[in-house]
A = this chain, B = another copy of it.
Amino acid sequence: MLTYDFNERGDTPIYEWLYKCMKNDILDGKIKAGEKLPSKRSLARHLKISVITVENAYAQLMVEGYVYGVEKKGYFVRRLEERIAQPKEAPQEISLEVEEKKYRCDLTANSTGVDHFPFSIWAKLMRNVLSEKKTEILMRSPYQGVRQLREAISLHLYHFRGMSVEPSRIIVGAGTEYLYGMLIQLLGRGKIYGVENPGYQKIRKIYEKNDVQCRHIFLDKSGLSLEDLEKSDVQIVHISPAHHFPTGIVMPIKRRQELLRWAMQEEERYIIEDDYDSEFRFTGRPIPTMQSIDRQERVIYINTFSKTISPSMRISYLVLPEHLMERYRRELSFYSCTVPAFEQYTLAEFMKKGYLEQHINRMRNYYRSQRDALIGALEKSSLADKIEIREEDAGLHFLVHFQTECSLEKLKQRVEEQGMRLSWLDEYFHEPLKQPPTTAVFNYSGISGEDISSILTCLQAALA
């Protein structure tokens, strides 16, 4: 009769050990297909264990399909395929993860300084939410996001962007990348999308990975070229009129009007207005959105809190025109909201109590002083006559054009050799430029005061 050594079982319960041993014997063919197993009682007696233990082991073998029972006859082994390997022991980490290169200075990073985040306030609000909203934070939030957050966003848009948006037209989601994908599902994969060239690379990658046709529309000095757009077959155009990345162009009212007129000329033409860093305009009022002058339901507005709060907080939102909101409800509301309810309530409180406004103001001043310090240092340094700074008082980056005989390729290599990480204007074009400009994108949101002197040193060495 079947005999197993129970001394080897370690912490494993007896029934589990018996089940495992028998399973292995079945898989190894030691117990043959069709063979009748000993009765529970006789096996228990033989192994000196209780009948209930054997019963549990047999039950597990049954439910997994190794054996079957025949009433009044007993248990029989099923016919299986060839032996299948058992799981390996504890997982061994294979290091597939690539270690990031460390740079002396990095002007590509997007992280907000830790020192600037109002932790104690955030923590307090979290504790409040945790104690006051026990029920709510365990409930699946509505597909659009929790109402309190949408109300707070509606008020924020009214006060800061001059927009009049009912909370019922707002959809909260885990990041703009996710929401782009939802828009494709909403507007249709068969549509032809247009993106800015140059532009934010991720947007075109997302369209590509979603298998939609995507055209690359050039910019002129007013932003997206209307001429180029009209020559194309684009139906839905994705733009950032408040502050184009990376050129910094602010689209003037005339071009906005022209684009709206373009959208009105045919059914199913839409403008996706990506307002990703409109909060960080340093002089004057924020630029009004296209959404706020659209009366034909042609503009879809999208924004994120990753710039204003933190890139680790994945909360973004869409504002849909009414007829698209109805379509979304009809066709896509089966999708659950992707943002944890807890985070949504905390952010809603953060906004309602005025902390977001305070934080944005503080960060705006901080970024302005960083920008001024960096630009001031560049202009006062020996680099001053070798560079030209192009900026539009906005966003968290500016362009630096290097006046050099050196080719772009060589310049990039030299900067890299100095341990400096930069992104370059030509990288934001869809196709390689014949004569790429020696122009870099300085994203200064992640640098600290001490970094400025290393930036100067690196650049001086690279341009020497």
Contacts and interface: CB of A to CB of B under 8 A. Distances in A.
Given A252-B64, A258-B81, A312-B341, A130 B139 contact: no
Interface in A190-218: 202, 205-206, 209-211
B288 A64 contact: yes
B138 A112 contact: yes
A253 B285 contact: no
A19 B65 CA distance: 78
A168 B93 contact: yes
Contacts of A322: 94, 96
Interface stretch (A175-183, A266-274, A434-442): A175-183
A163 B418 CA distance: 46
A135 interface: yes
Which among A144, A165, A250, A342 has the greatest number of chain B C-beta atoms within 10 A? Answer: A342
Contacts of A258: 81
A87 B314 contact: no
Interface string A118-130: 0100110011001
A178 B178 CA distance: 8
B285 A19 contact: yes
B250 A312 contact: no
A211 B331 CA distance: 13
A257 B79 CA distance: 11
Given A95-B168, A117-B138, A123-B130, 19 more contacts: A16-B285, A19-B285, A64-B250, A81-B254, A86-B293, A91-B165, A91-B166, A94-B322, A96-B326, A97-B142, A119-B130, A126-B126, A138-B311, A174-B339, A178-B178, A206-B335, A209-B332, A311-B336, A314-B337
